[in-house]
Amino acid sequence: MNGPAQEPGAALAELEGLVARMEAALDDEQAALAARDAAAIAAAADRKAELAAALESARAALERATGAASGPALAAALRRADANGSLAQRWEALRARLAALRRRNRANGLAIELQHRAAARALAVLRGEEVEAPTYGPRGAARPPSAGRSLGRG
């Protein structure tokens, strides 16, 4: 059950702390990726999942504290709650940091996918399986080799 609503400044401070922890988790994940340390990558993924849940809870607490849902209504509520505008400024800075976190998380996810594909190809080579080079679609994304019949074969 939800407890009493926090003061908006305290709710923002909680979010800011969690964002800092998520930034550190992404740093750790990036270092683990560079080192190709599977255990550290898995630990970072677990930590990120825990922090994502905590961020969602803290966002909900901020919404309760302001009485407004995320988006323009939340920004307006923060401006009303603080005449000097520092809460709204902190919220905008926090939104920019969250956007950067999303971009970094996507980049790390792509790096994980590329490492996974490289490992799968290496295993296939070690097993003596035929490995075809990946092909790329019109948008630059890798796609699996065609299952169609090769014109060079009889």
Q: Which amino acid is at 40?
A: A
8 A C-beta contact, residue 30 and residue 110:
no
pLDDT confidence of residue 138: 73
Which tens digits make up the pLDDT trace of 23-66? Answer: 999 999 999 999 989 899 999 999 999 999 999 999 999 999 99
pLDDT confidence of residue 1: 42
Q: Is residue 131 packed enough to be buried (19+ CB in 10 Å), middle (13-18) or exposed (0-12)?
A: middle
Q: Which residues contact residue 81 at a Cβ distance below 8 angstroms, ignoring those fewer than 6 apart?
A: 8, 66, 87
Nearest one of 98, 1, 6, 22 to 61, comparing CA atoms: 6
In whole angstroms, give the CA distance from residue 129 to residue 136. Answer: 21
Q: What is the Cβ-side half-sphere exposure of residue 84, based on CA atoms within 13 angstroms? A: 3
Averages of pLDDT over each 10 residues, the chain, 154 residues? 69 96 96 92 95 95 88 87 88 94 94 87 85 70 56 50
8 A C-beta contact, residue 95 and residue 17:
no
pLDDT confidence of residue 11: 93
Domain ranges for the chain: 8-129
pLDDT confidence of residue 144: 59
* Three-state secondary-structure class, residue 83: coil
pLDDT confidence of residue 132: 72
Joined tokens for residue 123: 């295993």
